[in-house]
Chain A
Amino acid sequence: MAQNTDVATAAAAPRKAKKSQKPSGTSGMSRALVRRETISAYCFLLPSLVFFVGFVVVPMFICLFYSFLDYGLGGVAGFAGLDNYIQLFQDEVFHKGFMNTLLIVVVAVPTVTAFSLWVGSAIYKMHTIPRSFFRCVFYLPVVTGSVAVTVVWKWILHPYNGLLNQIAGTTGFDWLGNASTAIWFIILILFTTSIGQPIVLYVAALGNVDTSIIEAAQVDGATKLQVFWKIKWPAIMSTTLYVLVITTINSFQCFALIQLLTRGGPLNSTMTIMYQVYDTAYRLQDFGYANAIGVILAIIIAIFSAIQFKLAKTDN
């Protein structure tokens, strides 16, 4: 028994030593100092953590909870179980909204990313003044309010007095009132307001690529395409991943443009899942169903983001 205790003590000794040595061994700090710094770190994190929990995590759970209720303006009428979700899969407006949302994402995300990369590549080597000028030009729609942007586009696309119809000689044609053209103008306007941030990010990322590697590759006879594809592209992959995820989420959550320009019409041709959440909650005052749509939207976005992370990881 005593032998066993000795063996155990002997075995535990190095572990204890290892454990106690780890902090001082790696950073030269005492355990007390590490603890103090850890507490400080958590104190600094706490405000944002409280904010995040209070305004993101809790509402998410509330949203999930309400999606199982029959909840209208008069309060909770009862437990709906999966009824809201079943209704959702039978709802033609939701189907239309889902397809439109998918179309916006599938078209907007690659075009925004590719165009931003192209513009970023073209301007990052420029001198400071022209580079700043182009960054400002492309970033302007981002800092301009959605209302101002839509007012300008409404004027451009006005059927009778609009700039586009005046130029094209198609006076009277209702671009936003035509079921086959409205969604494409929403995508176009979304595109113009989405490219600013990715361009700025790409300009910064491309500027940070190690020039010595590029010069070495050029000395070894690499073509411009090879330099881009083999050196720059891997170096800016993390930026690309960020741009893809952010653009995807923004595209899924496209709301202000639709609210201000078409309100989901004509004939639901610009209805999106995000707009249907708003419409169901605030016009039809069916909060339970609106929450169920919101939950499905969150799941779809999560799936898309996971796929993008996975693909980017594989690429790396």
Chain B
Amino acid sequence: MIKKVLAILMTLCLVLGLAACSSSGETAAPAATEAPAATEAADATEAPADSAATDDSASAEPVEISLWSFNIGSFTETSSWDSVIAAFNEVHPEITVTVNAINYQDGDQRLTTAISSGTGPDIIFEGPERIVGNYAREGLMADLSDLWTASGSDISEGISSLSQLDGTYYFFPISAAAHCMAINYEVFEAAGALQYIDEETRTWTTDDFVAAMAAVRDAIEAGTVSVAVPGIIYCGAQGGDQGTRALVNNLYSDYFVTEDGSSYNANSAKNVQALTLLQTMVNDGSLSANASFAASDELQAFANQTCAVSFCWNYSNYAQYAAQTQFTPFAMAFPSDDGVPELEMAGPYGFGVFDKGDAAKVEAAKTFVDFVCNDQTAGVEVVKATGFFPVHTDWGDVYAGDADAADRAPFALMSDYLGRSYALTGGWTEQRALWWPLLAEIMTTGADPQTAADNYVAQANANIG
């Protein structure tokens, strides 16, 4: 009898478990299809976006929204947002914002788990690669076009194009900068390699780069400098790929994706020439390649003077490693054959709003985004915390007069070299995973660059859509 009861209980558990799971699957699916409807509802009520919300704030229903923030700049802890949220709550006391600080190590895993189980955030603070490229493509994000209409007119065309998918804006940016590289100034000086760089414009040609790295290598062999290797091409893990990508693309002035965005371009004649040059430099010792090194390993090696250059530099990394460096990390643009670099964008960083079917939360989240990105006082504070530069051109130099303004100047200069952005190309996540094996194959196993690049492009294009 008891066995029978137990068997019935177990069966019930199983059936309920399966039913619960299938229903969660069903709720996740409509999110993709219901997004426009929910957005329309939100649009209808919030046309006067911020003003209406402000006027009605005293009488409005209390709403609680959650913000998940990646560790961008000094936004490493929940408390980093305290002052911004306090300023927001002065205007909108009816909206409670809870913050969850996540990082790039396990942030994707946590987000994926939360989103797929229906417990994801209402707002995410990140870049368009995830917000537009991943989540909007899956139909998870709310339409932010009204915010753009109201206050996006002074944001550059490049950033605007990164914020939308099929004509609808899903991302609202606040700050951006350019990814660059850095050299150990003292090592270059001791090696006699400073002659190969233009210190004023912080640019160099491909020939200068080759000569400079050879000079550092010779200085290491002669014992003139104490670094172990001139530079390290890191071929492991996911982050920091923009560095090696920009290095390859700049050497002979080509692009990562074809002009029409229909194909990845690593196997073009110029890119293969660049890959071949790097392979030659690895073989002759003026560069090193490590398949077990991630960008963070390379940055650490640069900071502790194991290598003399870093291919993964920006102000955020400068600030992070400043305390460890006992030398001058001199920011440089990537070398190019014509001396005119085209750098990839760091960021832009900003906000996306998840549409989970609750119009009140979507509206509250958009009110928060609008406040943070367009209120100059709170916005400047957030921009400074990211360590980058405002996307609103009419905000001017937000760092003017700050104690560290001089440290930021080189990174402001790099913004002049911003080139095309590829982050919304189809199959971007998949190609990032393929990029590392491509580098490892060419740099550490001596594979033929053309064959390896052809193979990479074939696989990457399979997901380009």
A-to-B contact residues, CB < 8 Å: 38-39, 42, 49-50, 53-54, 57-58, 61-62, 65-66, 69, 71-77, 157, 159-161, 171-172, 174-179, 182, 261-263, 265-268, 281-285, 287
Contacts and interface: CB of A to CB of B under 8 A. Distances in A.
Contacts of B17: 54, 58, 61-62
B235 A287 contact: no
B263 interface: no
Interface stretch (B27-35, B96-104, B272-280, B359-367): B27-35
Nearest to B463: A284
B112 A265 contact: no
B21 interface: yes
Contacts of B301: 160
A265 B440 contact: yes
Contact of B14 (A39, A61, A262, A283): A61
Given A75-B26, A266-B437, A284-B429, 7 more contacts: A58-B14, A75-B28, A76-B25, A174-B290, A179-B445, A266-B440, A282-B109
A177 B288 contact: no
A74 B29 contact: yes
Contact of A285 (B26, B134, B291): B134
Contacts of A282: 108-109, 112-113
A297 B263 CA distance: 35
A265 B236 contact: yes
A61 to B, nearest CB: 6
A82 to B, nearest CB: 19
B402 to A, nearest CB: 36
B436 A75 contact: no
A159 B290 contact: yes
B230 to A, nearest CB: 12
B102 to A, nearest CB: 13
B441 A65 contact: no
Given A42-B6, A73-B134, A267-B445, A50 B13 contact: yes
A75 B31 contact: yes
Interface in B122-166: 134-135, 138-140
A144 B384 CA distance: 40
Contact of A178 (B112, B433, B444): B444
A66 B28 CA distance: 14
Lowest 4 CB-CB distances: which A-B pairs, in order?
A75-B28, A74-B138, A75-B29, A177-B291
Interface string B425-465: 00001100100110011001100000000000000000000
A153 B293 CA distance: 14
B2 A160 contact: no
Contact of A177 (B135, B235, B306): B235
B237 interface: yes
A157 B134 CA distance: 36
Given A42-B6, A75-B25, A263-B236, A177 B138 contact: no
Contacts of B135: 73
Contacts of A39: 2
A262 B21 contact: no
A30 to B, nearest CB: 17
Contact of A76 (B26, B292, B436): B26
Contacts of A76: 25-26, 28-29
B138 A174 contact: no
Dominant secondary structure of chain A at its interface with chain B: mixed
Nearest to B109: A282
Contacts of A62: 17-18, 21
Point out which of A39, A61, A75, A287 has the most chain B C-beta atoms below 10 A from its C-beta. Answer: A75
Interface residues of B, number: 50
Contacts of A177: 235-236, 290-293, 440, 444
Contact of A182 (B140, B228, B292, B433): B292
B115 interface: yes
A54 B25 contact: no
Nearest to A176: B292
A74 B28 contact: yes
B229 interface: yes
A178 B430 CA distance: 23
B80 interface: no
B112 A285 contact: yes
A78 B13 CA distance: 25
A65 B236 contact: no
Interface in B1-53: 2, 6, 10, 13-14, 17-18, 21-22, 25-32
A158 to B, nearest CB: 9
Contacts of A159: 290, 292-293
6 contacts: A53-B10, A74-B31, A175-B292, A265-B440, A266-B444, A285-B429
Contacts of A42: 2, 6
B288 A172 contact: yes
B76 interface: no
A69 B18 CA distance: 14
Nearest to A279: B433
A179 B292 CA distance: 10
Nearest to B237: A263
B57 interface: no
Contacts of B235: 177, 265-266
Contact of A287 (B116, B237, B430): B116
B352 to A, nearest CB: 14
B216 to A, nearest CB: 15
Contacts of B6: 42, 49
B374 interface: no
B238 interface: yes
Point out which of A38, A42, A266 has the most chain B C-beta atoms below 10 A from its C-beta. Answer: A266
Contact of A172 (B22, B31, B228): B228
A283 B237 CA distance: 12
A174 B444 contact: yes
Contacts of A74: 28-29, 31-32, 138-140
A172 B229 contact: yes
Given A177-B235, A282-B112, A54 B134 contact: no
A165 B229 CA distance: 15
B288 A265 contact: no
